[in-house]
Amino acid sequence: MSCQIELFDGNVKDFPVCPTALEVAQSISSHLAKKSVAVLLNQDSKLQDIRTKLKSGDKIRIISLSDKESLEVIRHSAAHVLAQAVQTIWPEIKITLGPVIENSFFYDFDTDKKFTPEDLEIIEKKMKSILKEKHELKKEIWSSQKAVNYFEKKGEFLKKEIIEELNLPEVSIYKQGDWLDLCRGPHVQHLGQIGAVKILSQSGAYWRGDSSKKQLQRIYGTAFHTEKQLQDFLQKQDLAKKNDHRLLGKKLNLFYFNELSPGSPFFTALGTKVYRSLQKFLEKKYIEYGYEEVITPQIYHSDLFQSSGHLNHYSNNMYQILEEDQNKKALFLKPMNCPGHCILYKKDRWSYKNLPWRVADFGRLHRKEATGALHGLTRVKSFCQDDAHIFCRMDQLLSEIQNAIKMLQNIYQVFGLNDYKIELSTRPKDFMGEKDLWNQAEKALSSALENLNLNFEIQEGEGAFYGPKLDFSIRDSFDRFWQLGTFQCDFNLPRVFNLNYINKEDREERPVLLHRAILGSLERFFGVYLEHCKARFPTWLAPIPVVILPLTNKELDFSLKIKKTLEQKEIFCKIDGRNEKLSYKIREYQNQQIPYMLILGQKEVLSQSLSVRLRTGELFSGQKLEEFVKKLAQEILSYKRSSFLLKQDKSY
């Protein structure tokens, strides 16, 4: 009986006995066999070892070094090389786990040693010399007992713990030279297939990701098939670093941090312009989508957070005001707006006819964050959310969620954030409230997404204790994801604050509370968007939309006339009358990514027209002033990301 293997191009090959994937590659060409590193089996999207024995009827795709999928295998094997290098240099160091992550890999070591940058250099050197030996990777199947005995004898107790937890009769072992590791693979054929490795950094990391457990020492690295690929990768990283919002914020003078208030941004006059434009934009959307905006207190008696449950669940993150009030009650800065909105809700008697109530608040929040958590504008201690709460009846929940998602889509597309993923987090183990309510809310969230034809992932058991939630993470221009929007159903606050409304039958009923933020915090969004647009804000957000550059002081009168005309349309502009060369000024404003530069010389004064330079470098002369201002105002009002002067509609 022969063995038939189907290749992904449709070709079927016959073998007298069932081959391994590597043998199939060999039968195609010895070149392919040399380059192959893994195999995709049938519909499975997980890579399998190239040494896998196939069955008749299997459909396979051989992954070679030229396929990008091979990177995962290369990096996995490189992680083993890292561990081998470390144990060769320091035999007393114990190994744990070394997985592949996006763009890189790491290995966690159990040791008291702290790796210094010099150590990392030595390790990288050792890795390179191990690669030169081009050891073959040999896969062996051991009984779990044998593996446990082996690692126990070597004092590798965490490795032993892993095997025992796997609870399998057999485990696979990969050997390279005289070094071996427990691993399910897949791995390269031999270490010569790893063309380039680089150690990236070190870090502490907790065993099992649990901060109450032992801290291990983690080393990060990356690997590629060729040195060129590695260099390209490093270059791309450098580029991303240049667009870091913290650098751009400094360069464009938008915000500033000072150690006298860590984690709390100072927005400069320019940064504040951007911040306020964002806020005004959202306020407009609030009106469009039926929200009411309120202003609520900054400081509350501890009683409020006692009843809301924040004192029990969140007090570590709350700032307490030292001075107590005359009732001897502690005072706290609010970490979130919701309890205040519940107080406002309770002020009135509600009828089912008046719901939903959508209440928005840009209130400043303060949260004590662990020092190591702070990060530019994306993780701060003082911030404002585009926060709103929707108090509604259960039968309104679906349409409210749907409405909120539409609002989110509408807002994201203004920023050109069209690539985002959605996660639905469902009931956790320690949930609060009735299961039936949870099911209804989860159903409302998923139906809303389905009705709008949106794909989403389910995060089983990841919901908050008070209700299920949706998270929206956008992908920025550097392929990183940032969680911005979040919609959270809440059964807890309406209960603890005893909120109700009178239903049709004249009986009290409890409303559902939907927390929702679309941009998340204005601070975080500012940072994320600054990087995403690479500091090229659309005109409506630009701190300075227009700068007027008179060539000499003979053009000052005309400059003032233009400024006045712009200001009539509420367009902010700046006249740069400094005694500097035009090219000097252009360079400066180009670096600041000012959308419109108006260059004025005698030619323009005589013809009473404008010469416009875009930050793309494109020039448009002979523009009529009134016409220009009118169209520019239009561009700003419609939140366009493209200049009206450009034919193609794209961000510039």
Partner RNA sequence: GCCCAUGUGGCUCAGGGGUAGAGCACAACCUUGGUAAGGUUGAGGUCAUGAGUUCGAUUCUCAUCAUGGGCACCA
Catalytic residue from among 469, 516, 532, 615: 469
| Residue position matching structure tokens 């700032």 | 319
Catalytic option among 75, 76, 341, 367: 367
515 is catalytic: yes
Q: What gap in Å lies between CA 196 and CA 221, rounded to an integer?
A: 11
Smallest separation (angstroms) from RNA to the CB of 583 = 4
CA distance 120 to 86: 9
- The single residue of 218, 273, 341, 389 carrying the catalytic annotation is 389
Please report, to the nearest 10 degrees, the dihedral formed by the alpha carbons of residues 149, 155, 157, 162 taken in order. Answer: -50
Beta-strand pair 546-550/573-575: parallel
Whose CA is closest to 350, among 168, 494, 557, 240?
A: 494
Total Cβ atoms within 10 A of residue 399: 14
Phi-psi region of 544 (alpha: psi -120 to 50; beta: other; left: phi over 0): beta
Residue 585: CB minimum distance to RNA, A: 8
Which residue out of 48, 202, 385, 396 is catalytically annotated?
385
DSSP E strands in 98-214: the ranges are 100-101, 104-110, 137-143, 170-176, 179-182, 196-206
- d(CA 137, CA 191) in angstroms, rounded, equals 7
For residue 425, the minimal CB distance to RNA (Å) is: 10
385 is catalytic: yes
Using the structure block, give the residue that is written with the tokens 């320019």: 270
Comparing CB distances to RNA, the nearer of 246 and 393 is 246
Q: How far is the CB of 339 from RNA (least distance, A)?
A: 9
* Rounded least distance, CB 146 to RNA, Å: 31
Taking the complex as a whole, the smallest distance from the CB of residue 204 to RNA amounts, in Å, to 3
- Shortest distance, position 554 Cβ to RNA, whole Å: 6
> How many angstroms separate the CA atoms of 39 and 64, rounded?
9
To RNA, the closest distance from the beta carbon of 623 in angstroms equals 11
CA distance 44 to 234: 32
Q: Which helix (H) or strand (E) holds 347?
A: none
146 is a catalytic site residue: no
3 or 551: CB nearest RNA: 551
HSE, CB side, 13 Å, CA atoms: give it for residue 406: 13
CA dist 21 and 36 (Å) reads: 9
Catalytic residue status for 393: no
Burial 319-335 (b: 16+ CB within 10 A, else e): beeeeeeeeeebebbbb
Cβ atoms of residues 160 and 152 within 8 Å? yes
Contact 218, 202 (CB under 8 A): yes
Q: State yes or no: is 389 an active-site residue.
A: yes
Nearest to 384 by CA among 251, 218, 517: 517
In the annotation, is 190 catalytic?
no
Residue whose CB is less far from RNA, 263 or 538:
263
Q: Pick the closest to residue 68 from 52, 49, 47 (CA basis).
A: 47
Nearer CB in complex with RNA: 120/414:
120
Angle between helix 435-451 and 397-414 (nearest 10): 40
Given the complex with RNA, which of 260 and 295 has the nearer CB atom?
260
Closest separation in Å from C-beta 27 to RNA: 43
Distance of alpha carbon 521 from alpha carbon 279, whole angstroms: 11
**Distance between CA atoms of 163 and 390, rounded to whole angstroms?**
49
Q: Print burial letters for 611-640: b (CB count within 10 Å at least 16), e (below 16).
A: bbbbbeeeeeeebebeebbeebbebbeebb
Are 139 and 174 a contacting pair, CB within 8 Å? yes
Minimal distance in Å, beta carbon 470 to RNA? 13
Nearer to RNA, 313 or 393 (CB): 313
Active-site annotation holder among 361, 387, 471, 476: 387
Q: Indicate the residue among 185 and 520 with the shorter CB distance to RNA.
A: 520
Among residues 49 and 555, whose Cβ is nearest to RNA?
555
At its nearest, how many Å lie between RNA and the CB of residue 452?
Answer: 24
349 is catalytic: no
Question: Based on CB atoms, which residue is closest to RNA, 64 or 337?
Answer: 337
Residue closer to RNA (CB basis): 34 or 313: 313
Q: One of 338, 489, 533, 573 is an active-site residue; which one?
A: 338
Residue 581 burial class via C-beta count within 10 angstroms: exposed 0-12, middle 13-18, buried 19 and up? exposed
Cβ closest to RNA, residue 19 vs residue 309: 309
- The type of residue at 103 is N
Q: Which positions are annotated as active-site residues?
A: 338, 367, 385, 387, 389, 469, 515
